[in-house]
Structures are given as C-alpha cells and as structure tokens.
Copies of this chain bind each other. A is one copy, B any other.
Amino acid sequence: MEKQTITIYDVAREASVSMATVSRVVNGNPNVRPDTREKVLKVIEKLDYRPNAVARGLASHRTTTVGVLIPDLTNIFYASLARGIDDVATMYKYNIILASADAAKNKVDTVLESILAKQVDGLIFMGPHLSDSTRKELERSKTPVVLAGTVDPLDKLGSVNIDYVAAVKEATQRLLSTGNEHIAFVTGAMTDPINGQYRLKGYQAALSEAKIAYDESLVFETEYSYRAGEAIWDAVKRSGATAAVITDDELAVGFLNGANDGHTRIPEDFEIITSNNTMLTEIVRPKLTSIAQPLYDIGAVAMRLLTKMMNKEEIEQKTVLLPHSIITRSSTK
C-alpha cells in the first residue's frame, strides 16, 4: 500500500522507448519524432505518470522554485507585494517557498539557510533591512536575489522600488503647501536604510527648500503597527506638529484613530499623509491621503526581474524605480 509511484522507467518500458526519450517528450525537446512523441504521451496518459520534481531538481540543478522572504504576512503592504510576486511566479511556472522572517527576531538567517538548502533558483527579499550576515549568506550561495519594496544602499542586488526620497519630499511639500510649519515625520526604525537614508532625506529636502529648520523632535521612530500608531498620537500632538507624514498604512490608521478618538478633527486641526495606499486608506474615515505605490507591480516586476536573472538574460538595469504619485483624499486640506 506504500506510495507505489509510476516512474519514467515504467513509461519507457510500456512505450518501448528509452527513458531518455520519455524525458525529451516530457520536457518538450524537439528531437522526438511526432509519432514516438504521440506514443509516449499515450502511455503517460494511460499510466497517469507525473514527473517527480525532486529527482528532476537533483538531475538538472534547477528546482523551478524561488524563495520569498516576508517580514509579516498579515501586513497588507507586504501581502500586496507578495500577490504580485505570486502571480508572476505562477505565470513562469515557479513555485514559491515562503518564509516569514521577522527581522527583529533575528530569524532571517536561519530561515534563509533552510531556504537555500532547498536549492531555490532565486530569492525575493522583502523587509526593510538586509543585515551584513544576511548579505554574506546570499553572496556565498550565488543565488540571484531581488529586493522588493526595499532599497539596497550598496546597490549591488537587484531591487524594485519607487523613489522614496522624491515621494516623501512631495508628501511633505503637500503639507507645507497648506501652511503647516511643524510637520511630524512618523516612521519605522531609522536603522533601516529606507527610513534613515531615503525617506528622511526627502523630508529634510522639502523642509530645507521651504526654508524651515529641521527639528529632530518632530521625527518619531516607532514600529509598523496599528497599536504603535494609536500609542504615538499623543506624543506627536504634544510636539506641536499640525500635520504628519507617516510611512506605513497600519501605523497611519492607528494614528488617525488615536486622533479621532482624542477628538482632534482631521484634517481641520491636523493633516495626515500616509505612504502605501493600501485598502486601509479607503476603509477609515476620513479616508487617508497617501503616497501611491504600485504595490502589486513592485512585486510583479521584482519577480519578473528575478526570472531574467535566473535565465542569465542580460539585465538592462537591476534597480527598477516604478512611478509613484500622491492620491488626495480627506485627511488633508
């Protein structure tokens, strides 16, 4: 009663051809006469033969599997990217080994190791921070890697993003344009390059162009979660800010509700711009003005880029910047 599997050998025998020929048929190799192909296909059908991907992977050194590292499955931002990744992966016949790796918990390297052991053909990395040890691990494995929705400050790996500097600058300018002089910047860990090196720069650039002094006490560093947003509202309000650029929707939504529940009127008394334009921005009241990133596309393009790398195709540019915009809703004047 054990898994008695039909192998390529059974098919070969039954069709009176060699295993090699069956393999060719299965893989669409043109060097097979139409009638033998036909004959083999008949037998495959009859025996209901299914190639074993593991054996195939061992023999061919290709597993048609890619690893995907995601910090948090339940964060809509990452889930949206993942959907783009998944769709394109399926399109190109790749399976995805997904692993969530909370950077905070130092799980990344362990998880990565287990994924690499599975001989994935490529890897997509989401999440804000790529540690040195992770980078080293990746290099040693020589597996093609693309970052999705996160930057590589060393600019060595493939990556797909929007221009975070410009986006945050525009968002800040939008708030400046309605007369705000004290604009808070609420974001995640500054050690993440995307925050500390890119977004912050955009924020500062906008202020500087408007001849407003950068005030560190208006920068709030917290984590990306609803609760964190609720929690930080009071502090931001007390800082004297009259508007905020927030870099994550869950955070922004928590923040907004903190304001709502504290009876501050949005946008009359306080304006908010968030950054990811996920469904959340439309669910809350007032709806949130947001930087619009093409989330699905970032994932999709990242995966597409990865397929090229895995095929060793020529890559015109390994850092792709997708367009962004600002969608005005009701949390700004």
Contact = CB atoms under 8 A, between A and B. Distances in A.
A111 B89 CA distance: 11
Contacts of A284: 283-285
B76 A95 contact: no
A80 interface: yes
Nearest to A93: B114
Interface string A102-144: 0000010001011111110000000000000000000010100
Contacts of A52: 58, 117, 119
A90 B50 CA distance: 29
Contact of A97 (B3, B74, B96, B280): B96
Contacts of A63: 54
A284 B57 CA distance: 48
A95 B97 contact: yes
Taking residues whose C-beta sits less than 8 angstroms from the other chain, chain A's interface range is 35 or more
B73 A82 contact: yes
B53 A55 contact: no
Task: State the oligomeric state as a number of copies.
Answer: 2
A95 B100 contact: no
A64 B95 CA distance: 16
A285 B260 CA distance: 9
A283 to B, nearest CB: 6
Contacts of A83: 72-74, 100
A58 B61 CA distance: 13
A98 interface: yes
B3 A142 contact: yes
Given A76-B76, A93-B114, A111-B90, A285 B283 contact: no
Nearest to A75: B79
A51 interface: yes
A114 B100 contact: no
Given A53-B117, A54-B58, A260-B285, A99 B86 contact: yes
A300 interface: no
B80 A74 contact: yes
Given A3-B142, A74-B76, A74-B80, A96 B95 contact: no
Contacts of A95: 97, 99, 114-115, 118
A233 B253 CA distance: 24
